[in-house]
Amino acid sequence: MFNGQSHLASVADFRLAAQRALPRMVYDFIDGGGGQETTIANNRAALDDKRLICSGPYDVDNRDQRVTLFGKTYTTPVIIGPTGLAGLAWPWAEALLSRVAGDIGIPYVMSMASTCSQEEVIAENGQTNWAQLYLMRDRTLSDRVVDKAEALGFEALEVTVDNPAIGVRLRDVRNGFSVPMKWTPRKMFSLAAHPGWSLRMARSGPPTLKLLSDILGDRRTDTLAEMFQDQIDSSITWDDIAKLRDRWKKPLIVKGLLDARHVAKALELGVDGVVISNHGGRQLDGAVATIDVLPDFVREARGRLTILIDSGFRTGSDVARALALGADAVQLGRAPLYALAAGGEPALRHCLNCIREELDMAQGMMGAAHIGDFRSDMVFGYPPSPATPGKPSDVARIAR
Ligand SMILES: Cc1cc2nc3c(=O)[nH]c(=O)nc-3n(C[C@H](O)[C@H](O)[C@H](O)COP(=O)(O)O)c2cc1C
């Protein structure tokens, strides 16, 4: 149990606690989205719209959340996704995210905009780290990240393709958010109003884009963040993914797809997995909710591709919705950051445990003793899942 704030019982609680703990511009950077934030609203509405069918009796006495992704078994179908500048939520954030993921037995995807180095992350957990990649205009720079990730033992590579343009986050514009921070009297006042956070940052020093500065080396400029944005390539094509496939021999995952017609190309190039994502609503305002396109991906992939999903997932019931509609696992973006901001490592463990318990409850109520037992006809209005080798048929499940 999370000692300090055991009254926090769900991601929604951690979000409120984060709002109280963080200066406004930091909270808004984490919580905010692109434009009018319609995509964030779409994600939530679409998830809420998937009503789950629970209709026992079921024998679910022995429930199990284990899931196998890319040949490795994890304890629960939840992944800590990549979030840049996580060190703004809590010092040493990426190292803590990696440590906790390793202890729990779930993957952690380290962002390329990390405030820890790749070595620091690997030192915490040598087993369940994946690396996230932005392709840079100067490909020698992104190649360096890939090669180092391979040498250090990162187990999978997630290449993000949904930022050919950077989403305009109006909260950040209004707050004058920048890295490094430019101090105004209003921001100084906000620091004084959040002494816990300010003290932690004063002790650890302001977070910087450490992974990137390691790579840019002497190209470093005053505003590393701007350099980063200038360097992110706006002309990525499937040819680049093909080249990456040649370079990176371990599981390769493409993050940021919303159109299932890309599945054929991903399969043709030997990509191992996709993350259906709208970047948590931080990029295009008005984008489709990921859960709504998930069944199309499942239909196209026919079990030949690992299907991961993110954007808006907050509860075990949300995870159950994705599993029922055919996802292999769910990535979390903001939820772990809310938890870190609320109380560091213990809060993060507690938050992930809340989601795991919520999923366990959903498994019990929905008759899915094993993760592979989730089927699409457990969502109101959806037809039964197509037969998949190794999964019990719907008839068998009901009759059990
Ligand atoms: C503060 C923050 C930073 C992020 N940085 C990255 C990043 O560096 N690379 C990336 O691929 N996605 C990044 N994302 C997107 C997440 O990986 C994920 O797609 C999204 O947050 C999922 O939605 P959720 O926050 O509603 O769970 C970031 C998200 C947040 C909230």
Question: Which residue's alpha carbon is nearest to atom 15 within ligand 1?
Answer: 279
pLDDT over 70, % of the chain? 93
Measured from the CB, is residue 344 less than 6 Å from ligand 1? no
Q: Could you tell me the CA-to-CA distances from 201 to 66, 196, 213, 298, 309 in Å, in that order?
A: 37, 9, 19, 44, 33
Write down the pLDDT at residue 399: 44
Q: Find the mean pLDDT for residues 174-183.
A: 84
What three-state secondary structure class fits 62?
coil
Question: Which residue's alpha carbon is nearest to atom 20 within ligand 1?
Answer: 280
CATH topology of domain 11-399: TIM Barrel (3.20.20)
More reliable by pLDDT, 216 or 361: 361
> 238: closest CA among 270, 266, 276?
266
> What pLDDT band is residue 217 in, cutting at 50, 70 and 90?
confident
Question: Which residue's alpha carbon is nearest to atom 28 within ligand 1?
Answer: 83
Taking the C-alpha atoms of residue 94 and residue 211, their distance in angstroms, rounded to an integer, is: 11
Write down the pLDDT at residue 398: 45
Catalytic residue among 194, 262, 279, 350: 279
Q: Could you tell me the CA-to-CA distances from 265 to 17, 38, 70, 233, 241 in Å, in that order?
A: 43, 29, 19, 20, 10
Residue-wise pLDDT tens digits, 266-319: 999 999 999 999 999 999 999 999 999 999 999 999 999 999 999 999 999 999
> 375: closest CA among 360, 363, 361?
363
Question: Structure tokens of 372?
Answer: 């592979």
Q: Find the mean pLDDT for residues 13-30.
A: 97
Taking the C-alpha atoms of residue 221 and residue 239, their distance in angstroms, rounded to an integer, is: 30
Residue-wise pLDDT tens digits, 38-85: 999 999 999 999 999 998 899 999 999 999 999 999 999 999 999 999
Question: Structure tokens of 127?
Answer: 């087993």
Q: Residue 397 pLDDT > 50, yes or no?
A: no
Write down the pLDDT at residue 222: 56
7 is catalytic: no
Write down the pLDDT at residue 1: 52
Dihedral angle over CA of 84, 88, 92, 94, nearest 10: -20
Give the residue extent of every domain in the chain.
Answer: 11-399
User: What pTM does this model have?
Assistant: 0.95
